[in-house]
A and B are shown apart, each in its own frame.
Chain A
Amino acid sequence: MMKKLIQAVILILVFYLILKLGIPALGSFLHHGTWPVVPTNLMRIYVFFIVAGVLLYLTFNEESAKELGKPIKEVYGNPEKGGLRMIVIAVIALFGGYITYQNVKPSFEAPVELRSIHPAPPSSVEMWGKPYNLLKLTNPFREDKANFEKNAREGGIVFFKNCFYCHGDKLDGKGHYNSGFSPMPANFVDVGTIAQLQESFLFWRIGTGGPGLPKEGAPWRSAMPIWQHFLSEEEIWKVILFLYDYTGHSPRTFG
């Protein structure tokens, strides 16, 4: 009689475990030394739709739906099962209480922060006391094909003198100080970072650093310095050239 209900519970548990253990295991295989869990916030929605999917599966057919509903009807409708009913209701109430308690109990955890990884850039930005139109800005060294290698090499020198302590000698965001920061330094090798962006975006991010980020989203705690105070315009452009050249990505273009 309970067959369908048990089937539902087992199915939900299996899929839950895939998310709970399978994804971190796969992630740990890709990035050794980490255990990349699915964030709780996302997990909730995942589980919600998995439950919905399982219920849809078990109810699209009339007999199966009746069978699934039978134990529930039995517990709530059968006058002889008063004791069991009380227990079920109590368990549900306690479970609700537990969830509520887990959510409201005080913790030492820092509040969840939203980081908009690629905030919309302003249309123009002021650096070295000069306005730059980010919509039209392009890398002046990109066109200079003859000296490309030389410029990229010079950018590399800038990188290793300034950036590599955090962003790492492989540009993978694993520099010496990387573990000290939250958010961690960007991994340029990844397809999700500079490969998604235009050079003008990088110019803006490097030039104004963590403090120059827009308010968009939540407070940001990036420790990236304001590089316009230390580097010249040309050095920043060259370093951008280097970043793309080294990682093999090409800057994003629209159109």
Chain B
Amino acid sequence: MGFLGKGLFKGVSFRFTSLTACLFLIFFASTLILPISHNASLSLKPAFATESPAPAGEHAAPVLSKAEGKPEEGKKEGEGKFTYQPAPKIKVEDYPIVKGFNSRIAVWIVAQLHLFFGAFVLAVPIFVLVIEGVGLATKDERYDHMAHEFIKVSMTAFSITASLGGLLSLMLVSFYPDFFKYMAGIFGKTMIIYALLFFGESFCLYVYYYGWDRMNEGFSKWLHLTMGLMLNVFGMTLMVLSNTWVSFMMAPSGIDDAGVFTGDIWAAIRGPLWNPINLHRFIANIAFGGSIVGAYAAFKFLSAKTDEEKAHYDWMGYTANFIAIFGFLPLPFAGYWLMKEVYGYSQQMGITAMGGAFAWLFIIQAVLIGSLFLGANYYLWCGMGRIKGSERYTPAIKYLIVVIVGCFLVWFTPHTLIMTSKEVTQVGGTHHPVLGFLGVMSAKNTAVNILIVSTFLSFMLYRRSNKIATASWTSTGNALQVALFAGGAINIVTLGVYGYFIPANIRIGLSIPQVMTTLTIIIVSSVLDGFMYKGAKSTGPIEWGKMGQRSQYALFLLAVSFTWLMGLMGYVRSALRQHWHVYTVFRDNSLDAYTPTLGYAAGIITIAVYIFIALVIFAFWIANFSAKKHAEASH
């Protein structure tokens, strides 16, 4: 009992330090946020001035000139006599050559690795915080332990992210100095804020992780949760801030035609692609982080010695898979939004992505995403084996497989078929009368939505496996759900078929009701299930750990495919700029300005994925190492 008192005392002192730490943090954050908001308010003035409708007629000229004079004044106040330089026109000789390095490949791989790790360490705190909260709410210690283990896994990854970030900026400085100088000229302020925020994030992370065991009761637990929240706030701000650089490179704003910065940093930040990229990355990070943690759990499961360990990691893998799928389902919709904005910003860029050299990329993407869906579903189906009572639902699986594989094949069918000349004659032209229908957007949107609905259905069956609803209206509820799924599916398919009969610009709009149908099915049936299975009779507990080894490979498949897919889509997003550092403003004149083939890109991506796997294994190994010590010490 003695150590308990000591622990309590320690807890008090720690509470005190964490309180001051928190105060310091708030102060720190305010010093950072204030300049931003100040900046924004400053910049809003000219924005309004120029956006105010110009009165017609020549007599209005003086008014206009006064309004336009304002940003001048604002700039002079803020920046002194400094004038911004236009984007430089650089030549091949202006790119330093570092022997033994190919600038593009080096920067490509390092940036990709930085993004992999960055996504991972940004995602993990999000769901760790949620899981910790769930643990607090349900008073189930397992959740707390799992959350702790999750964050432990990401600790080494955090420093690897930072090191890779440093390496990346050094590489940019040495390989692309003019580009970096230009970017720093515009975003210098945000880059410094970025670095400062990083301190904040590290601080929160360390307090959050190392304080886990000490801050686990009462008020200090809440403080701990707050710390986790701050960690996420810092992380999110970091991501959003660095996204501005990327979105600026793709769709520059806040500069004139020659690339001269207007001095309005907010205008440069708020480019047309900024928010779509923010959302897309945020969602994808969660899915990615979940899949990596899932791989960790799978590895631990496979090498577990005791049943207890097995059960724990089985459960962890299941949760991680759930997170990955949860993030994955809305991802296509975020992707559509991003693509729509790309089209809106520049039709040329949109066509390059969808119809030009990258048209086939979306076939590769379809294969990868199809594998992901199959893998995730397979894991759920396998998981039903550990639940008594699941026999009632397993017969449905074969239909689900047919639907999912069918949708996948539709999605995968390219618009342009590769045919030998003999086949062309057999088909009677290059347009295939059957497959041609499957190659267009209407079919693909329909397939994706059905795919998502089916995956959700798999999940629902899994959830129901060991439960028997006792509510009086169960049969009505079931009928309602069947009607919901059937009606929804019919609606999606009908909309898809209708798409063939209307012009393309209206057809694009059809994807919205399709998505809304999908979301409605998911939300309504979740709510229905929630009520129906309240106080349901159990057919037996879930026997965690009673899981075949094959299913764990599905988790690995998810992790590897996610990583690879992320590399691929990151490549295409970046490659849309073609031979520009900053699209239409700052031309890339290096030897590597050309766009490589997809096969070449796939090679680089594969290399990056291998390096990532190696580094992740290293990070996990380190985490494992400390855990072993811990275990020994407690014995």
A-B contact pairs, 22 of them (CB 8 A): A26-B434, A36-B426, A37-B423, A39-B423, A42-B435, A46-B409, A53-B374, A53-B401, A53-B402, A60-B397, A114-B418, A117-B415, A120-B351, A120-B352, A182-B424, A192-B415, A192-B431, A250-B503, A252-B503, A252-B504, A254-B505, A255-B344
Size of B's binding interface in residues, CB under 8 A: 61
* A40 beta carbon closer than 8 Å to chain B: yes
Q: Is the CB of B356 within 8 A of A183?
A: no
Q: Is the CB of A216 within 8 A of B356?
A: yes
* A80 beta carbon closer than 8 Å to chain B: no
Q: Is the CB of A135 within 8 A of B505?
A: no
Residue in A34, A42, A183 with the greatest tally of chain B CB atoms within 10 Å: A42
* A27 beta carbon closer than 8 Å to chain B: yes
Interface residues in chain B, defined as those with a beta carbon under 8 Å from any beta carbon in chain A: 343-344, 347-348, 350-352, 355-357, 359, 367, 370, 374, 378, 381-382, 384-385, 394, 397-398, 401-402, 404-405, 408-409, 412-424, 426-436, 439-440, 500-501, 503-505, 548, 550
Query: What's the nearest-Cβ distance from chain B to residue A104, in Å?
Result: 15
Residue in contact with A38 in the complex, picked from B374, B429, B435, B439, CB distance below 8 Å: B435
Q: Is the CB of A109 within 8 A of B418?
A: no
Query: Which residue in chain A gives the minimum CB-CB distance to B343?
Result: A254
User: Which residues in B have their C-beta under 8 angstroms from that of A93?
Assistant: none
Near B by CB (< 8 A), chain A positions 192-206 give 192, 195-196
Query: What's the nearest-Cβ distance from chain B to residue A103, in Å?
Result: 13
Q: Is the CB of B431 within 8 A of A190?
A: yes
Given contacts A27-B432, A42-B414, A115-B430, contact A135 B348 (CB under 8 A): yes
Q: Is the interface of B mostly helix, strand, loop or mixed?
A: helix
Number of A-B contacts (CB under 8 A): 160
Q: Is the CB of B500 within 8 A of A187?
A: no
Given contacts A49-B405, A57-B397, A192-B436, contact A109 B503 (CB under 8 A): no
Given contacts A27-B434, A49-B370, A250-B503, contact A37 B415 (CB under 8 A): no
Q: Is the CB of B429 within 8 A of A173?
A: yes
Q: Is the CB of B356 within 8 A of A120?
A: yes
Residue in contact with A196 in the complex, picked from B374, B420, B504, CB distance below 8 Å: B504
Q: Is the CB of B422 within 8 A of A109?
A: yes
* A45 beta carbon closer than 8 Å to chain B: yes
Binary interface profile of A, 83-96, with partner B (CB < 8 Å = 1, else 0)?
A: 00000000000000
The 9 closest A-B pairs by CB, nearest first: A34-B428, A120-B356, A60-B381, A53-B405, A252-B504, A36-B427, A184-B429, A27-B433, A120-B351
* A35 beta carbon closer than 8 Å to chain B: yes
User: Which residues in A have their C-beta under 8 angstroms from that of B344?
Assistant: 254-255
Q: Is the CB of B426 within 8 A of A187?
A: no
Q: Is the CB of A182 within 8 A of B421?
A: yes
Compute how far the CA of A192 lies from the CA of B344 in the bound complex, rounded to whole angstroms: 22
* A62 beta carbon closer than 8 Å to chain B: yes
User: Which residues in A have their C-beta under 8 angstroms from that of B430?
Assistant: 115, 117, 183-184
User: Which residues in A have their C-beta under 8 angstroms from that of B500?
Assistant: 191
* A33 beta carbon closer than 8 Å to chain B: yes
User: Which residues in B have their C-beta under 8 angstroms from that of A56?
Assistant: 374, 378, 381, 401
Q: Is the CB of A33 within 8 A of B385?
A: no
Q: Is the CB of A112 within 8 A of B429?
A: no
